[in-house]
Amino acid sequence: MDALMDDTGKAIARRLRLERDARGWSLADLAARSGVAKATISKIEREETSPTAVILVRLAGAFDLTLAGLLLRAEGHDDASRVMRAAQQAVWRDPESGYARRQIYARPDHPVEIVQVDMPPGQRVVLPASSYAHIRQALWVRNGPLTVVEGGEQHRLEAGDCLGFGLPSEVTIANEGTEPCQYVVVLSRS
């Protein structure tokens, strides 16, 4: 699995450069559109650093993509099959929180994406409102607990609980427990 994550990091670096070049954007253009420092983008593209989930979400949003859309392009999934076999499901690990994100299902011609996240105990990720601008999503906790703070409203979720997200706002997802938490996110592009 580590080799897959290493390959994914290299693929992300290449894809960011391709997306930027395809639009004729400089590093400064992408930095202005994403809110990510130009130096950080440059280090990611040169494979000197691994981007965090928050940075990837901001970069994907600047390209008008979801995080899954960016990762799918990075992995080069052009397969016409509607089946995503377990072996094809890309796994990416956030270097900051250590959470592992498995892309269960996503296709450019389908409005629904399914993602499984394994969040280590004591970790959290804060995602900007911009990451929810063109999507609607629900989060289902498989094993918990999990705390979600959305637009100032706090939700404490346990295994089996499901939360449908509201209007785009900053979201904090935290595993405040002592055991790993696994949750599934189902989203649709609007």
Alpha-carbon distances of 41 from 59, 142, 158, 179, rounded to whole Å: 9, 34, 37, 33
Residues 181 and 90 in one domain: yes
| Domain boundary, last residue among 44, 75, 106 | 75
Range of the domain at 70: 2-75
Domain assignment present for 80: no
Do 68 and 102 fall within a single domain?
no
Q: Are both 62 and 96 inside the same structural domain? A: no
Inside any domain, residue 81: no
Q: Which tens digit of pLDDT belongs to each residue from 133-179?
A: 778 899 999 998 999 999 889 999 999 999 999 888 899 999 999 99
What distance in Å separates the CA atoms of residue 62 and residue 55, rounded to the nearest whole number? 11
Predicted model pTM: 0.71
Residue 3's pLDDT is 36
Buried b (16+ CB within 10 A) or exposed e, 91-108: bbbbeebebbbbbbebbe
pLDDT tens profile 90-126? 888 898 899 999 989 887 777 888 999 999 999 999 9
Cβ atoms of 131 and 56 closer than 8 Å: no
Task: Name the average pLDDT for the chain.
Answer: 86
Claim to verify: residue 134 and residue 52 sit in the same structural domain: no
> What whole-number distance in Å separates Cα of residue 183 and Cα of residue 153?
19
Which of 19, 54, 75 is the endpoint of a domain? 75
Residues 94 and 65 occupy one common structural domain: no
Cα–Cα distance, 8 to 72 (Å, whole number): 10
The structure tokens 């992408």 sit at 30
Q: What tens digit of pLDDT does each residue of 14-57 get?
A: 889 988 988 999 999 999 999 999 999 999 999 998 888 889 88
**Is 117 a domain residue?**
yes
Q: Is residue 50 part of a domain?
A: yes
Tokens at 66, concatenated: 């979801």
Chain-centre distance for alpha carbon 117: 10
User: Is there a domain that residue 126 lies in?
Assistant: yes
Shared domain for 42 and 124, answered yes or no, is no
Instruction: Based on the fold, state whether residues 117 and 166 are members of the same structural domain.
Output: yes
pLDDT tops 80 at residue 132: no
Structurally, how many domains does the chain consist of?
2
- 153-157 and 181-189 beta bridge pairing: unpaired
